[in-house]
Amino acid sequence: MDLFDELRHLLDDVLQLQGRALSFTPDTALLGALPELDSMAVVSLLAALEARYGLNIEVGDLDGSRFATLQALHDFVLQLRQAQR
């Protein structure tokens, strides 16, 4: 499973989308487009990303653009993984 697939499954689980996230493309809008992705869900998603990938996400690393699309989230996770090796 590649990172896009992993993120689709993680989003589906955290946001309880009942399989809808599995059809997301890299261009699928997330923040502002998914009512389920509210501020509390972002916190849950960050915790899930930290647990799943062993990341340490700092507040300074965050802004809304990181969650704009699936591609943006993918790139953010890749960037953190590379920086924290």
Q: Tens of pLDDT along 8-65?
A: 999 999 999 999 999 999 999 999 999 999 999 999 999 999 999 999 999 998 999 9
Q: Is the pLDDT of residue 84 over 90?
A: no
Q: Which pLDDT score, from 0 to 100, does residue 8 have?
A: 98
Dist. CA 14–CA 38, nearest whole Å: 12
Classify domain 3-83 at the CATH class level: mainly alpha
Bridge partners (DSSP) of residue 29 are: 69
Q: Which pLDDT score, from 0 to 100, does residue 77 have?
A: 97
DSSP, collapsed to helix, strand or coil, labels residue 59 as helix
Dist. CA 54–CA 48, nearest whole Å: 10
Q: Which pLDDT score, from 0 to 100, does residue 17 have?
A: 98
Dist. CA 55–CA 76, nearest whole Å: 11
